[in-house]
Amino acid sequence: MNTPTLAAAIRDAMLTAEPTDKVMKTRDVVRRWRAGELAFVFDVAMPDVPGRPARPELLPPAEMPKRGRGSERGRIALLHALAHIEFVAIDLALDAAGRFGAEMGRQFVDDWLSVAADEAMHFALIARRLRTLGSFYGAMPAHDGLWDAARETAHDVAARLAVVPMVLEARALDVTPATVDRFMAAGDERSARILQRIVDDEIRHVRFGTTHFAALCEKRSESPASYWKVLVERHFRGMVKPPFNDSARRSAGLSREMMAGVACQ
């Protein structure tokens, strides 16, 4: 029998809709890749849109119900929103490995599949926490549009890195510490610990982004700071807004000089 290909295994995990199944398939792809059971062959294309479960209902950002800030309901809604972000992050990481792996090589695949495994873990931790709190992933509507960044940058790995790890995932470094404090203040230490663990992992994800981006810049004879600025202006519709978590960003390879270029004034 022929060895199954990496691309086919990744595509299969991406097309899986049920959250528990997607988590299991993602772990399985990572395990098989590490065990040398998947051929470094890119024989199928990545899907334009990954598999999504019937619930949560996906709504445009403007139609999302407001979350009450102080209440327990508000905190559950926040965890639900984070679960959805992690769920989409699984597919973003798989897509990076499957779409750009041929061009970028084995180290890139190693890195992005390890991110996919982390995101699957993050999702599973939050989903379990939601259940303990009497809710579940799918109980509330979720933000449609997290996949837009993937679509917008599907043509070029530099654009993908510039926007997904280096802008979107890096944003988590700025905002999560305050969220951790909020859960602690509410006496929910379990949730706070899960979020702290997530932010520690996200530093690594951003670092993979900045490292591979720097290597690409070298290859394309571009300067990282100015190339990043150009790509963010072209492919990211939001704003890169301070305050930044300078120390976390620095450990992730985003220096103040890099930030100065893309930050809105």
The distance from CA 93 to its chain's CA centroid, rounded to whole angstroms, is 6
39 vs 196, which CB is nearer to Fe ion? 196
Segment 89 to 108, residues that bind Fe ion, using CB under 5 A: 89
Q: How far apart are CA 163 and CA 92, in angstroms?
A: 11
72 vs 116, which CB is nearer to Fe ion? 116
Ordered DSSP codes for 94-113: HHHHHHHHHHH-HHHHHHHH
Residue 56: closest CA among 146, 164, 153: 146
Binding status of residue 122 toward Fe ion by CB under 5 A: yes
H or E stretch including 241? none
Instruction: Pull the structure tokens for residue 44.
Output: 């199928």
For residue 39, the SS3 value is strand
Question: Which one of 48-56, 65-73, 198-206, 241-249 is the stretch in contact with Fe ion (CB under 5 A)?
Answer: 198-206
Instruction: Pull the structure tokens for residue 77.
Output: 């809604």
Interface with Fe ion (CB under 5 A), residue from 75, 99, 160, 205: 205
Q: How far apart are CA 212 and CA 262, in angstroms?
A: 18
Closest approach of Fe ion to the CB of residue 201, in Å: 6
27 vs 40, which CB is nearer to Fe ion? 27
Q: The dihedral of CA 69, 237, 119, 24: what is its sign?
A: positive
Closest approach of Fe ion to the CB of residue 165, in Å: 7
18 vs 200, which CB is nearer to Fe ion? 200
The single-letter code of the amino acid at 131 is: R
Q: Using CB under 5 A as the criterion, what x/- string covers residues 28-67 for binding Fe ion?
A: ----------------------------------------
Interface with Fe ion (CB under 5 A), residue from 119, 144, 174, 188: 119
Beta strands per DSSP E along the chain? 58-59, 142-143
Binding status of residue 174 toward Fe ion by CB under 5 A: no
Question: Which one of 67-75, 76-84, 167-175, 237-245 is the stretch in contact with Fe ion (CB under 5 A)?
Answer: 167-175
Site size toward Fe ion, by CB under 5 A: 7
Helices (DSSP H) in 70-169: which residue ranges? 72-104, 106-132, 148-152, 157-163
- Find tokens 């098989």 and name the residue: 32
Binding status of residue 144 toward Fe ion by CB under 5 A: no
Question: Which one of 2-10, 86-94, 97-105, 221-229 is the stretch in contact with Fe ion (CB under 5 A)?
Answer: 86-94
Q: How far apart are CA 177 and CA 157, in angstroms?
A: 29
Question: Which one of 23-31, 53-61, 71-79, 118-126 is the stretch in contact with Fe ion (CB under 5 A)?
Answer: 118-126
Closest approach of Fe ion to the CB of residue 128, in Å: 15
Chain residues that interact with Fe ion, rule: CB under 5 A: 86, 89, 119, 122, 169, 202, 205
